[in-house]
Amino acid sequence: MTPALLMNFETHYTLQFVTQTLPVAGRHVLEVGCGDGRLAAALVADGWRVTAIDQNVEAVRKAQSRGVAAIRSDWPDYSTDDRYDAVLFVRSIHHIVDLQGAVDRAAELLRPDGRVIVDDFAVEAMDEATAEWFRRYVRNLPRFQSEAAGHGLVAALSSDGPALHIWRHHHEHHGVIHTAGDIAAALRKRFRNVSEASVPYLFRYLSESGDGADALVSACFEHECGAIEDGLIRPIGRRFLGLFKQ
């Protein structure tokens, strides 16, 4: 296992889920929407053969600098003769316009015993209580920490107005967002035994400020888990595993 100290908290958290769901046999993984390649690099270090694609040229360059076999490509237009043991979507499938096409292409590129792994969020699960809890949490951070994490949604939540409205506006700005229900339905059309789990997700927004916020991210994760357990907020993260349907 790649030493946790070499990864930020979010990557380590995701890696634990992914490695637990990857097939025992076979070692070739395709990651769709690899971003800067942190997760792909961790999988490579663990002995997996990883092909990673992203539509962003700068993201691909960063992934390549980490030793990842990263390719600039759109999805589901990616063309290859390779077949994979697993196709992985981490925080990417929700904004692929052709959702069913994205799932169908994953199925086409899998070996008979392959699987699709999705780590994402349910836009429809967010409610005012959950959004307001996160805003209060962010606002209670020490001033210097709040400023250090002052990017994206975290910065937006410092303004007045309904927290849920701010959260929705932040996501609408990034274009199409498929619901977890739609993702699940698309997966079940092509895969059998699709499992779904609800997990924490809000802590990920603090990671937008980079490695310097790692302590903030891990602390938020612990508080978020506690709030979910106490019934104060909803878990908006969603994880799916689908086995190939021949």
Sequence ranges of the domains in the chain = 4-123+176-204+234-244
Angle CA(23)–CA(25)–CA(26) in degrees, nearest 5? 90
What is the SS3 assignment for 74?
coil
What would the CATH number be for the domain defined by 4-123+176-204+234-244?
A: 3.40.50.150
241 to 21, 106, 116, 181: CA distances (angstroms) = 7, 13, 6, 14
**Per-position pLDDT tens, the chain of length 246:** 444 335 899 999 999 999 999 987 778 999 999 999 999 999 999 999 999 999 999 999 999 999 999 999 999 999 999 999 999 999 999 999 999 999 999 999 999 889 999 999 999 999 999 999 999 998 888 754 555 455 578 888 878 889 999 999 888 866 789 999 999 999 999 998 999 999 999 999 988 765 567 888 999 999 999 999 999 999 999 999 999 755
Helices marked H in 110-178: 128-139, 143-148, 152-156, 163-172
Specify the pTM.
Answer: 0.92
What is the SS3 assignment for 204?
helix
